[in-house]
Structure 1
Amino acid sequence: MPGTNLTREEAQQRAKLLTVDAYEVELDLTGAQEGGTYRSVTTVRFDSAEEGAETFIDLVAPTVHEAVLNGHALDVAAAFQDSRIALPGLKAGRNELRVVADCAYTNTGEGLHRFVDPVDDQAYLYTQFEVPDARRVFASFEQPDLKATFQFTVKAPAGWTVISNSPTPEPKDDLWVFEPTPRISTYITALIVGPYHAVHSTYEKDGRTVPLGIYCRPSLAEFLDADHIFDVTRQGFDWFQEKFAYDYPFAKYDQLFVPEFNAGAMENAGAVTIRDQYVFRSKVTDAAYERRAETILHELAHMWFGDLVTMEWWNDLWLNESFATFTSVACQASVPGTRWPNAWTTFANAEKTWAYRQDQLPSTHPIMAEINDLEDVLVNFDGITYAKGASVLKQLVAYVGQDEFFKGVQAYFKRHAFGNTRLSDLLGALEETSGRDLKAWSKAWLETAGINILRPEIETDENGTITAFAVRQEAPALPAGAKGEAVLRPHRIAIGLYDLKDGKLVRTDRLELDIAAAGLTDVPQLVGRTRPAVVLLNDDDLSYAKVRLDEVSLKNVTAHLGDFTESLPRALCWASAWDMTRDGELATRDYLELVLSGITKESDIGVVQSLQRQVKLAIELYADPAWRPAGLTRWTEAAQEQLRAAAPGSDHQLAWARAFAETARTDAELDLLAGLLDGGVVVDGLVVDTELRWAFVQRLAATGRFDEPEIAAELERDRTAAGERHAATARAGRPTEAAKAAAWASVVEDDKLANAVQEAVIAGFVQTDQRELIAPYTAKYFASIKGIAETRSHEIVQQIVVGLYPTLQVSQETLDATDAWIAENDPAPALRRLVTESRAGVERALKAQAADRAAAK
């Protein structure tokens, strides 16, 4: 398959033939302020195993001027086709290739992204290369197992800074010549260029000093809390170096907050790029700081998992992402001086909920996924690769023991430093240190898809004494269209026993045991004991499974969910209730009452905000449409009540202000938003700052209270890139046919919007209380997406296909239209996956609505 979609077979063939030694990359970015294209010169030295063999190098570029292989100029017109340069007649042994091309700046967050800050009108550049986009900047053998050294030479405008993987040199005549990197993969090389603001420090340990840097645009410098970011970073250095028994493997560590970033962050070796929304312009809750800290630690963990040791091919992507996720949360929860000792609560509440959702889609797949080509991996950065994999690693730690686990990891790093590995390499190291045979464990957990359900089966006598206790494991059938079969698995779990004491649910005992890969596991240790108020399976969240409560426990949890003394069991019960709602086992109206009964007692602000999001989603998608207005009224009134009752200036007050703003719709409620915005109404302690103002403006625009004059006036107050995005959302959110048509045209019919602005427009276009207004766009959606998928870049396609899918049109007609489109168009696998995942959401919503409707009878 020629072109940009490299197959696994092609990568294997190229890896057998080539050993890549070094790249020298010269870029002339002096015209970056104006944009367009830039000159890229690549010299790559590599060895061929065969005389006369032919291969290819990857390059996505508007123009190739010359390609010289071993001193002989290739016919560029013939050799450069489909984003590849054919390399015929290789010499056995050393070869040298020089490629001169014009490459293009992008505004999609892929390759070399160019952004102009409206505050200072200066351009800011950064690269984003994962998965296959180094080839947009220089000619490269674009696959993770062909590691090499990289030396970058960059010509930049005067006064700008250039940051890369190697330490930043002193420029001479605006020319920045970097030292070669260690052997790394193409996708973790990086260049960040522009008049960035910088703060510097160091990490010092055992006589070694690692330079640290933090960068952002000058327009964000006043909001940059560098000391806090350095503190988290140093905690990560201490913890990872101790647990991994391997010093930080690169010469320096820079963290660069960059604009219009598509993901949370990227683990470029020694030069991590992070979305600059993590430089908080306004007050945020502690949950936002916790999330940022986890992101910082996640990327730092990648310096070992992914950068030092890299997967051979993308089917082992989880070796990067799952390990980085697991170790970052483990660090956050246990490092001395941590601000977030309850990080596992957040993990259970956020990451695992993401994993459970992903694992119940038609696209579910094993953690070790089958990746046939680059299109497969591009859509595989999902809840299974990150969150399920991390959950299973937590299970593995419980299974083999924490000390044995980290001893195996230490051996793995020492054995494979700066190399590439497969799953078997890691499992072999863990088997050596733990003494356990992990082949069966791996097959059950890493090589199969789907999720198990654990249920307690409890019998008691007339005195409340337990006479029989067992755990039943179920393996629900995989969703229609999913590959593979459901399986039962071995689980290492804890069973928590909770009783009410002085109105609080307190754990009175805990039992840890293995659940066999069979239907029923007896637990004789609990026979003869008095039945507690709550029996919680998978207490401490050791395993990955959906957990259900027995009838007595469910009754007590329903009455006292907010009364658990610890945050983690509360989060596990909240997650179970949410999962039951999504599965149609708990009616949306009952879920709403459960949340309202317990959320006021919930101290963990991250859990509170998750519950707020889930309640809104449940009412909008899973509630009987006839009851939905009543549910929204109940929720909005409760949100306003909590806004006024919360402690002045608290995180809870801010969270409730945002929750109220999302669903306010009556005249009185909208009057309150307008009053808070203009200062006519004051809620003690609530600071209506920049970001909160935009939340109010967007809701007032979506309900027809505000139009262009008010939006433009707010943008005048906030003439920043963030302000422009917020204004784009507000404009697209207006409830008029003209506003929707303009928003649709800017995204679907044109391709000029930058990735972040497009995302903002889509967010405004899809308003839950504008279903009828946007219903006609369902047909337009299906008429457009195949062409978009064939002409736009991956990140842009994903935004449009997922963001504009008619999710709010919960009906059989939407399912039928989707099925007809698939049948008629036979989309490529990646596009098919995006559409079928969205379809599954509508199908689930239909079933949940039926369950909620039945509950009213």
Structure 2
Amino acid sequence: MPGENLTRVEARERADIIAVDSYTVELDLMRGDTVFGTTTTVAFAATHGSSTFIDAITAKVHSITLNGAELDPTTVSDGIRIALDNLLEANVLTVVADGAYTNTGEGLHRFVDPVDGEVYLYTQFEVPDARRMFSVFEQPDLKATFQFTVKAPARWQVVSNQTTPAPTPHADGSATWVFAPTPRISSYITAIVAGPYDVVRSELTSSDGRVIPLGVFCRASLAEYLDADYIFEKTRQGFAYYEEKFDYAYPFEKYDQLFVPEFNAGAMENAGAITFTETYIFRSKVTDAIRERRVVTILHELAHMWFGDLVTMRWWNDLWLNESFAEYASTLATAEATEWTEAWTTFAATEKSWAYRQDQLPSTHPIVAEIRDLDDVQVNFDGITYAKGGSVLKQLGAWVGQEQFLAGVSQYFKKHAFGNTEVSDLMVELEATSGRDLSSWTKLWLQTAGVNTLRPVLGTDADGTITEFAVAQTAPVDWPTIRPHRLAIGFYNLVGGALERVHRLELDVDGTRTEVPELVGRPRPDLILINDDDLAYAKIRLDEDSMRVAIAHLKSITNPLARSLVWASVWDSTRDAETTASDFIDLVLGNIATETESTTTRTVLGQLQLAAAAYTAPAHRQRQLDRIAAAMWNLAKEASAGSDNQFQFLRSFAQVASTDVDLAIVAQVRSGEIALDGLDIDTDLGWDLLIALAGGGKATAAEIDAYLASDNTSTGQQSAAHAHAALPTPEAKNAAWASAFDADTAPNTIVRATGMGFLKVNDTALLEPFVARYFENITRVWKARSFSIASALITGYYPSPLFSQSLVDATNTWLAANPEEPALRRLVVENLAGIERALIAQALDASAVDTMTKD
């Protein structure tokens, strides 16, 4: 992997030497199961007499021709780069090579459907993987036009960035598709998707009067589950919203959305040819949270057509310009243009939770990150780049005014269309439309790291009247920046059994202490909520009285966003060892039954399980887990028939069930002996329950194989891998480990699913032997495997369920002995941070339990 790296210095030097005009790429997909033919002709200008290189990760290079002269592939190509010397002012390079298909979700991915044996291909090029399919100057600021010609089986669908042309058939059953050249775009958003995909077509009329063809694609074996009409509806709503708000018509000629197998992410914004994970095709019941997430993802990728594809960052340190804006815009569009009107509540529950967690890791970084090379950017698709940036843009929109913000964005698109930019280019336009100087804001929010904490400080007299009120702001020692915040303070009182907002004050907060004289003289409410309406990016604390009210009455807060903020505040203080895990568990079990927002429920239930497994004192952890399991089962039985909560509570019960009694209930639910009204045990829920039984030692490998035989699909194979790895025996754990670390044949999704099962343990002693093996192997796999697989192994097989000082010590020993490979160290440091945080929280929980026992 180090040989595939590219530094920012190298990229800048290359951009100073060359300017690319066009690529012509010919692909032959009729060459068998392992390689494909790839011929690239690139026209580019250069400084006369200069030297540079083109990126080309190849299986074999057959010939290289530069300006009519043949170059020796064995001399100028190392399988990763091709050296180009003595360049002319105008150059033409042709490279004829074999490319290798992957099963890692990078480059040109090849998948064989176990249902019908059909082959499906798709590309994933972000960050540096177009070079796995064709020869390319692989950096975002060297834009060019791309013309693709593809030879493939005649019965296939072949899709790229431009409208699919009529193919020319051949006698051997193949056909050739010759696509028109793209506009000037970056290489990482080009795409080829090919195979016997099922397709549903439609169209819409753009704001400039053009008819935009639409397509929704999926594998043939999933076509019965594809709800294309709904996807088209959300797409049309997004088009209308963005074209109006951006005052800029959709910049490409068609819009295809393709749901593809074994995808590494949620989606990818290839210009006019979006690829999505096919988990967004629902063959079984899913939570409303997942349904909403799909809508946000659809609108996120559509926003990228403007922010990222039309206008692209110059280098990856401004990746946030793509991702943060798409996060912000998609949430705004979801809330204002679709039926998912509580999208900002979802944003608070998921994105901001992710951002706060990421921003408290030792590896946190400014939103505008220092990206030295491709390894850096690979690990920077994180909660800072996406969620913190989106949160900060929301705050910026509130500060300069949303109308002025969007007007500035529109000017930015018009000025820089099909070009590359840096953060200053956007700020220039926002300053012009808002009249505000954003230099200080840019420095404080984009160029520094860390999250501030805001707390209410108040005094009252004997009658409960507020005599003083202030907002105190602190910053972590390592990132001591104190920032300005625009926020609201909400006062909530119990009124007729409901916790209702009775007063709201919006103000600017700055400095370590901000006096709020407007609240002096008012009666103290039952609950005080700093950052009401979630305008600011900051951790929020409740005062002691408000915390007591929250634990008893959180469910009574009628506003979903306010509830989400209180959930988040208590969770943050639990992670920071200011609130005990036991108190957090009490809060959840006392208030989750009536939560109306699916994403909030999903997030809180995940936090509940982490609190019990990682943050409770070991001496009473099992008691807490048993208590949670009993509560989840009771909540599932009591929930409305067929409801989202019923579904979520049952799945949560299965995930924490560990006793013979609880596992027996799981087995009876799966077999149908116990039925919950309105809930069918469909295929995927059947897998969830079987995985729970496998982890508890109540299912056998033969039972897993039998269920796989009835569901021999891609999803079934992943679930079976999860279940086999979850079996609580040394043999099963060794087999799971060997399949990922010792062999290099499993596809990306199987590696990840196996890792989830490997870490599913009731008896953590099963993982003890793997601590040494983990540290003996991670440098090897980092160097030998692709980034997708290496990062999955390093993060997905770290034996975190041990949550022990011995794991901390082993991790620190490895870090001390391995100062090289900064991107690898970052992943390990982040693993370690989770364990260290857990040990501090456990100590607090143990102390509180001891105190209660003595009392």
TM-score, normalisation: structure 2: 0.98
Q: 2:76 aligns with which of 56, 71, 79?
A: 79
Which moves more between the two structures, 561-570 or 73-82?
73-82
What is the deviation of 1:2? 8.5
Structure 2 Cα separation of the partners of residues 423 and 205 of structure 1: 29
C-alpha distance after superposition, 1:684-728 (max 9, x if no partner): 111100010001111111111111221111112211111111111
C-alpha distance after superposition, 1:147-177 (max 9, x if no partner): 0000000000131110000001110021000
In the alignment, does 2:123 pair up with 1:123? no
Does the aligned pair in 1 maintain the 2:808–2:836 contact within 8 Å?
A: yes
Partner SS, residue 752 of structure 1: coil
Does the aligned pair in 1 maintain the 2:767–2:802 contact within 8 Å?
A: no
Structure 1 Cα separation of the partners of residues 155 and 827 of structure 2: 44
Partner SS, residue 92 of structure 2: strand
Q: In the alignment, what sits opposite 1:630?
A: 623
Q: In the alignment, what sits opposite 2:33?
A: 35
Q: In the alignment, what sits opposite 2:193?
A: 192
What is the deviation of 1:3? 3.5
Change (3 A) 1:817 1:374: same
What is the deviation of 1:581? 0.9
In the alignment, does 2:539 pair up with 1:546? yes
Structure 1 Cα separation of the partners of residues 432 and 653 of structure 2: 55
What is the deviation of 1:82? 5.8
Q: Which amino acid aligns with 2:36?
A: Y
Q: 1:132 aligns with which of 128, 131, 150?
A: 128
Q: In the alignment, what sits opposite 2:110?
A: 114
Does the aligned pair in 1 maintain the 2:203–2:211 contact within 8 Å?
A: yes
Q: Which amino acid aligns with 1:813?
A: S
Please list, as runs of the form range in 1=range in 2, the aligned pairs for 1:354-393 lying within 5 A after superposition. Answer: 354-393=354-393
Q: In the alignment, what sits opposite 1:233?
A: 235
What is the deviation of 1:742? 0.9
Please list, as runs of the form range in 1=range in 2, the aligned pairs for 1:653-692 lying within 5 A after superposition. Answer: 653-692=646-685
Structure 1 Cα separation of the partners of residues 805 and 514 of structure 2: 41
What is the deviation of 1:806? 1.8
What is the deviation of 1:324? 0.2
C-alpha distance after superposition, 1:119-141 (max 9, x if no partner): 11011000000000000000000
What is the deviation of 1:590? 1.0
Does the aligned pair in 2 maintain the 1:263–1:275 contact within 8 Å?
A: yes
What is the deviation of 1:344? 0.5
Does the aligned pair in 2 maintain the 1:151–1:179 contact within 8 Å?
A: yes
Q: In the alignment, what sits opposite 1:211?
A: 213
Q: Which amino acid aligns with 2:45?
A: D
Does the aligned pair in 2 maintain the 1:620–1:768 contact within 8 Å?
A: no
Does the aligned pair in 1 maintain the 2:200–2:217 contact within 8 Å?
A: yes
Q: In the alignment, what sits opposite 2:505?
A: 511
In the alignment, does 2:161 pair up with 1:165? yes
Does the aligned pair in 2 maintain the 1:39–1:101 contact within 8 Å?
A: yes
C-alpha distance after superposition, 1:494-531 (max 9, x if no partner): 11121111011111221111112x11111111122222
Does the aligned pair in 2 maintain the 1:3–1:84 contact within 8 Å?
A: no
Q: In the alignment, what sits opposite 2:6?
A: 6
Structure 2 Cα separation of the partners of residues 64 and 637 of structure 1: 62
Please list, as runs of the form range in 1=range in 2, the aligned pairs for 1:228-267 lying within 5 A after superposition. Answer: 228-267=230-269
Structure 2 Cα separation of the partners of residues 852 and 397 of structure 1: 40
Please list, as runs of the form range in 1=range in 2, the aligned pairs for 1:758-797 lying within 5 A after superposition. Answer: 758-797=751-790
Q: Which amino acid aligns with 2:483?
A: R
Does the aligned pair in 2 maintain the 1:465–1:529 contact within 8 Å?
A: yes
Does the aligned pair in 1 maintain the 2:7–2:373 contact within 8 Å?
A: yes
C-alpha distance after superposition, 1:755-814 (max 9, x if no partner): 011111111111131311121111110111111111000000000001111211222211
Q: Which amino acid aligns with 2:654?
A: A
Partner SS, residue 499 of structure 1: strand
Q: Which amino acid aligns with 2:715?
A: A
Q: Which amino acid aligns with 2:56?
A: L
Structure 1 Cα separation of the partners of residues 693 and 528 of structure 2: 46
What is the deviation of 1:844? 0.4
What is the deviation of 1:601? 2.4
In the alignment, does 2:585 pair up with 1:585? no
What is the deviation of 1:683? 1.7
Change (3 A) 1:82 1:477: farther
What is the deviation of 1:753? 0.4
Does the aligned pair in 2 maintain the 1:506–1:565 contact within 8 Å?
A: yes
Q: 1:498 aligns with which of 492, 495, 499?
A: 492
Structure 2 Cα separation of the partners of residues 760 and 707 of structure 1: 18
Q: In the alignment, what sits opposite 1:47?
A: 45
Q: Which runs of 5+ in 1 are unaligned?
A: 479-484
Q: In the alignment, what sits opposite 2:853?
A: none
What is the deviation of 1:608? 1.2
Structure 2 Cα separation of the partners of residues 476 and 146 of structure 1: 39
Please list, as runs of the form range in 1=range in 2, the aligned pairs for 1:94-493 lying within 5 A after superposition. Answer: 94-173=90-169, 174-206=175-207, 207-335=209-337, 338-478=338-478, 485-493=479-487
Structure 2 Cα separation of the partners of residues 757 and 398 of structure 1: 44
Structure 1 Cα separation of the partners of residues 582 and 846 of structure 2: 9
What percentage of aligned pairs have identical amino acids?
A: 56
Please list, as runs of the form range in 1=range in 2, the aligned pairs for 1:759-838 lying within 5 A after superposition. Answer: 759-838=752-831
Structure 2 Cα separation of the partners of residues 550 and 29 of structure 1: 64
Q: In the alignment, what sits opposite 1:481?
A: none
Does the aligned pair in 2 maintain the 1:4–1:82 contact within 8 Å?
A: no
Q: In the alignment, what sits opposite 1:482?
A: none
Q: 1:693 aligns with which of 673, 676, 686?
A: 686
Q: Which amino acid aligns with 1:6?
A: L
Does the aligned pair in 2 maintain the 1:2–1:82 contact within 8 Å?
A: no
Partner SS, residue 801 of structure 2: coil
Does the aligned pair in 1 maintain the 2:206–2:249 contact within 8 Å?
A: no
Partner SS, residue 141 of structure 2: coil
Does the aligned pair in 1 maintain the 2:695–2:761 contact within 8 Å?
A: no
Structure 1 Cα separation of the partners of residues 702 and 809 of structure 2: 41
Q: Which runs of 5+ in 2 are unaligned?
A: 170-174, 851-855
Structure 2 Cα separation of the partners of residues 202 and 131 of structure 1: 31
Does the aligned pair in 2 maintain the 1:786–1:827 contact within 8 Å?
A: no
Structure 1 Cα separation of the partners of residues 414 and 361 of structure 2: 38
C-alpha distance after superposition, 1:554-603 (max 9, x if no partner): 22222211111110000000001111111111111111111111111211
Structure 2 Cα separation of the partners of residues 2 and 738 of structure 1: 34
What is the deviation of 1:205? 4.2
Does the aligned pair in 2 maintain the 1:3–1:82 contact within 8 Å?
A: no
Structure 2 Cα separation of the partners of residues 250 and 40 of structure 1: 26
TM-score, normalisation: structure 1: 0.97
Structure 1 Cα separation of the partners of residues 311 and 588 of structure 2: 44
Q: Which amino acid aligns with 1:195?
A: P
Structure 2 Cα separation of the partners of residues 423 and 16 of structure 1: 20
Which moves more between the two structures, 754-763 or 319-328?
754-763
Please list, as runs of the form range in 1=range in 2, the aligned pairs for 1:725-740 lying within 5 A after superposition. Answer: 725-740=718-733
Structure 2 Cα separation of the partners of residues 367 and 99 of structure 1: 38
Partner SS, residue 22 of structure 2: strand
Q: Which amino acid aligns with 2:352?
A: K
Partner SS, residue 370 of structure 1: coil
Does the aligned pair in 1 maintain the 2:551–2:586 contact within 8 Å?
A: no
Q: In the alignment, what sits opposite 1:595?
A: 588
Partner SS, residue 150 of structure 2: strand
Structure 1 Cα separation of the partners of residues 763 and 418 of structure 2: 53
Does the aligned pair in 2 maintain the 1:3–1:81 contact within 8 Å?
A: no
Partner SS, residue 626 of structure 1: helix
Q: 1:89 aligns with which of 64, 68, 86?
A: 86
Structure 1 Cα separation of the partners of residues 421 and 557 of structure 2: 44
C-alpha distance after superposition, 1:239-282 (max 9, x if no partner): 11111000000000000000000001000000000000110110
